[in-house]
Amino acid sequence: MAAARPSLGRVLPESSILFLCDMQEKFRHIAYFPQIVSVAARMLKVARLLEVPAVLTEQYPEGLGPTVPELGAEGLRPVAKTCFSMVPAVQRELDTRPQLRSVLLCGIETQACILNTTLDLLDRGLQVHVVVDACSSRSQVDRLVALARMRQSGAFLSTSEGLILQLVGDAAHPQFKEIQKIIKEPAPDSGLLGLFQGQNPLFR
């Protein structure tokens, strides 16, 4: 009997959704926050071009403030939450999308809401693609270990450009020239080389 084929983690616009987690004013002190938000904004621009739906959450906005304007999330209605996972707050959105297969996940903090959202989504049978250059933490140790933990649990770790090119699929796509403008400049450095260099044992 043939072994079960492992999931390849392909992403398609019609079966994907973009999750934008808690990029709020009071979190500006988090390491690489401007870079993380910049990359998440790229993902949102591409999602809009490819008609990929997007969901935005805010953790306790009364105390932690609104979503930062540089994310460019105008038109998205933020969903307030207190849980350290996006899933309970956006359950209805997930339930109305039976075609959904892949969640592209950006935001903060990696060891808190990103990790717990990932586990909840995996538990629902969805594929999770953590956009590693769009996630961070106050502590880079927490960030590193959380990324490894999500990978151990079955999430895919991807860069923003890797996912964007998977979504567009073909240079002949009618939106490719617009997307090419978005990714023309490389994504800003968010300290990932320091986390992954030296064959880090957490990622073997």
**Token digits of residue 36:** 């993380």
Give the pLDDT of residue 102.
97
Catalytic residue, chosen from 21, 106, 113, 135, is 113
pLDDT digits (tens, 9 = 90+) for 1-53: 445 556 889 999 999 999 999 999 999 999 999 999 999 999 999 999 999 99
Active site residue 106: no
**Token digits of residue 35:** 């870079």
pTM of the model: 0.94
* Positions of the chain with pLDDT lower than 70, given as ranges: 1-6, 196-204
Active site residue 22: yes
Q: What is the dihedral of CA 106, 17, 160, 201, to 10 degrees?
A: 60
Give the pLDDT of residue 7.
83
Active site residue 113: yes
CA distance 191 to 174: 34
Q: Is the dihedral of CA 184, 42, 40, 51 positive or negative?
A: negative
Give the pLDDT of residue 197.
66
Task: Tell me the three state secondary structure of residue 189.
Answer: coil
CA distance 165 to 138: 29
Please report, for the chain, the start and end positions of each structural domain, with discontinuous segments joined by +. 12-185
**Domain 12-185 falls under CATH 3.40.605.10:** no
Give the pLDDT of residue 204.
64
Catalytic residue, chosen from 22, 106, 120, 133, is 22
CA distance 22 to 88: 14
Taking a C-beta distance cutoff of 8 angstroms, is the pair 189, 35 a contact?
yes
CB atoms within 10 A of CB 116: 17
